[in-house]
Amino acid sequence: MPANATLADLGEFGLIGALVERFPQGDHVLIGPGDDAAVVAVPDGRVVVSTDLHVDTRHFRRDWASATDIGHRVAAANLSDLNAMGGRATALTIGLAAPADLPVAWALELADGIVAECALVGASVVGGDLTSADQVMVSVTALGAVAGDPVRRSGARPGDVLAIAGRQGWAAGGLAVLTRGFRSPRKLVEAYQRPEPPYGAGAQAAALGATAMIDVSDGLLADVGHVAAASGVAIDVRTAAFEIAEPLQAVGAALGADPLRFILTGGDDHCLVATFPGGALMPEGWSEIGVVTEGSGVTVDGAAYDGPAGHTHF
């Protein structure tokens, strides 16, 4: 790596790889950096941990969503990470950095949204930190437990099928609407403001033999690509498996965009994607959307996808 390399030169995952090389893992670390969450051994079992940082104008905009909505968004992102390991969050810690002139009411409403989202899985906010900054930043760390073995990204095998649980593409449709200064269809805007992760679907999939799993935060193709890379397999996504909801069709027509792109490359819905052994009975709420084969990378209907696969951070 050149001495003058920048974050843009490395990209998000290049930077993660460089940082991970500097983080030695002790014997108590069962799963370290590189998955949706880490797993650490403790005297009474295992703790599953995940952290995300949310920056104003980068991950949310205060003119597009209320403080309560943003509270739901930031909590859902971390709760979904533990869901993707087949676990359930029990506690969150919150870090808030903000300008001194931020209204107290905004911070309190943010907390209300976080608490309301936590209530959906029975988690509690147990601590955190506050500091001043030039812009609003929220750091969330979720801790929880998994009943059996965590489901990792690296377990997919040729012959498995790819399946999805939860809605996908709605938040991307809402973002497209908001970016152009509109507020309708309201259902898509609300999907962007408050994701609805399929909580419980992760543990359900784990119990029924899921071989790999991930939550979709950056884009369906991008995140399926992480599964393919970690597992050393190829994955083909079948577009005929997707039903394009009427609001997505309406936005696509209004914006002159293919609504399928919202589904294939959109993030922030925090649905789950998992692989299951071929011939397995799909759990309730899951639907098959592709297949796992020998090889590498992700294709769509057997061909390379034309365009970005999802969001990039640098």
Please indicate if the annotation marks 52 as binding a ligand: yes
Cis peptide before 185 (omega within 30 of 0): yes
Cβ atoms 297, 156 nearer than 8 A: no
Please indicate if the annotation marks 269 as binding a ligand: no
CA–CA dist 90, 145 (Å, integer): 7
Please indicate if the annotation marks 129 as binding a ligand: yes
CA–CA dist 162, 253 (Å, integer): 29
Tokens standing for residue 202? 């992760």
Please indicate if the annotation marks 81 as binding a ligand: yes
Please indicate if the annotation marks 9 as binding a ligand: no
Place of tokens 């941990």: 49
Please indicate if the annotation marks 44 as binding a ligand: no
Tokens standing for residue 165? 């649980």
Tokens standing for residue 131? 């500091």
Please indicate if the annotation marks 128 as binding a ligand: yes
Cβ atoms 80, 40 nearer than 8 A: no
Please indicate if the annotation marks 51 as binding a ligand: yes
CA–CA dist 289, 274 (Å, integer): 10
Closest CA to 270 of 119, 165, 177: 165
Please indicate if the annotation marks 217 as binding a ligand: yes
- Burial (CB < 10 A; 0-12, 13-18, 19+), residue 113, is buried
CA–CA dist 131, 177 (Å, integer): 33
CA–CA dist 277, 7 (Å, integer): 39
Q: Are strands 212-215 and 124-132 parallel, antiparallel or unpaired?
A: unpaired
Please indicate if the annotation marks 301 as binding a ligand: no
Please indicate if the annotation marks 153 as binding a ligand: yes
Q: List binding-site positions.
A: 36, 50-52, 59, 81, 128-129, 153, 215, 217-218, 268
Q: List binding-site positions for substrate.
A: 59, 268
Q: List binding-site positions for ATP.
A: 128-129, 153, 217
Q: List binding-site positions for Mg(2+).
A: 36, 50-52, 81, 129, 215, 218
